Amino acid sequence: MSENSTNELLIRMEEKYKKMSKGQKRLFVFLSGNTVKRQLADYVTENYDKAVFLTAARLGEVVGVSESTVVRFATQLGYKGYPGFQKALEELVRNKLNSIQRMEVTYGRISQSEILETVLQSDIEKIKLTLAGIDQKAFELAIDTILSAKRIYVVGIRSCAPLASFLCFYLNLVCENVTAVNTNSSSEIFEQLIRINEEDVIIGISFPRYSMRTLKALEFASNRKAKVITLTDSVHSPMNLYSSCNLIARSDMASIVDSLVAPLSVINALVVALCMKKQKEVVNTLETLEQIWGEYQVYSKDELNQVDDTLTESSSGKSEENKDE
């Protein structure tokens, strides 16, 4: 969400405050921390765990007002009921939490016995939301852009690095000239992208809290006229500033762990779609790899077992000989 968008909710609340009932004003005071014009960082830090995950009934209970007051409060702000307000609040604070605050949020709403079911159900919901919201035309554009590119660069930092690595592994089976951008430092990124041009594409993967190194890589590539594809969590993500093709996958947090299940599913879909477009080339590549794997016993467990058996027999033989001596 942009700075203007994040301020919009606070501005709405401030403008509507004078017309609110006493109960709604108490709710407003609870959410805004008594000072309407306080900084967004204070607003998020003090109230995120008290509001964003609460139902309308529970929020009313905590503040001391009725559920209907909470719903009217949301409606008066211009939202279609409480869910719309809650979604706006989630967007408002999404990128403002540090790791400690993430843990506090989780510990405040999930008991130890509920962790497994809660996390898995949350991941299932993220995939459903991603499927419902992803732009099919953007997905098809991404496929065509990758297939037509002379060189393909993939960049993902920190928790997104495994996603970038996974994507690169399978892109190498389908396409030529695939580069996983090493991201140990900003200077290394630019050194690896020095030859990127309008014939190439870069795929940037980043989720809250967004990586500045990934953003700078996309900016550099865009300035060099390269095609830019992003895999991120929102149309408001800063990753989309330099992208002409945005793939949106939901990635909400649980404790300090980013949920990357939905983004990985989108990557799986990309790989499958690319393979379908280049079936003959992929089959030839896999046949060649199977021959190489067989020749060099890459996956041949039977051969390894035979070696182990031989060694065992040899050792046993020596033992028997030693006994005879």
Tokens encoding 127 = 């995939």
Q: What residues does 227 pair with on adjacent strands?
A: 201
133-277 classified as CATH 3.30.70.860: no
Cβ neighbours around 24 below 10 Å, total? 21
CA dihedral 17, 22, 26, 27 (to 10 degrees): -70
SS3 204: strand
From 269, 265, 254, 230, select the one nearest 129 (Cα to Cα): 265
- Residue 93 in this model has a pLDDT that exceeds 60: no
* Band of pLDDT at residue 167, cut at 50, 70 and 90: very high
Q: Which two tokens stand for residue 286?
A: 């896999």
- 103 pLDDT band, cuts 50/70/90, is low
CATH number of 3-115: 1.10.10.10
Alpha-helix runs per DSSP H in the chain = 3-16, 22-32, 40-51, 56-63, 67-76, 82-93, 99-109, 115-133, 136-148, 161-174, 186-192, 212-223, 261-277, 279-295, 301-324
DSSP state at residue 52: T
pLDDT of residue 183: 74
| pLDDT tops 50 at residue 225 | yes
Is the pLDDT at 299 greater than 50, yes or no? yes
Percent of the chain residues topping a pLDDT of 70 = 65
Please, where in the chain does CATH 1.10.10.10 lie? 3-115
Q: Is the pLDDT of residue 261 over 60?
A: yes
**Residue 112 per-residue DSSP state:** G
Write the secondary structure of 158-171 as one string of H (helix), E (strand) and C (coil): HHHHHHHHHHHHHH
Give me the pLDDT at residue 82, please.
79
The pTM for the full model equals: 0.65
The residues of the chain that CATH labels 3.40.50.10490 are 133-277
The first and second tokens of residue 239, run together, are: 């990753």
pLDDT surpasses 80 at 15: no
Average pLDDT over residues 239-266: 84
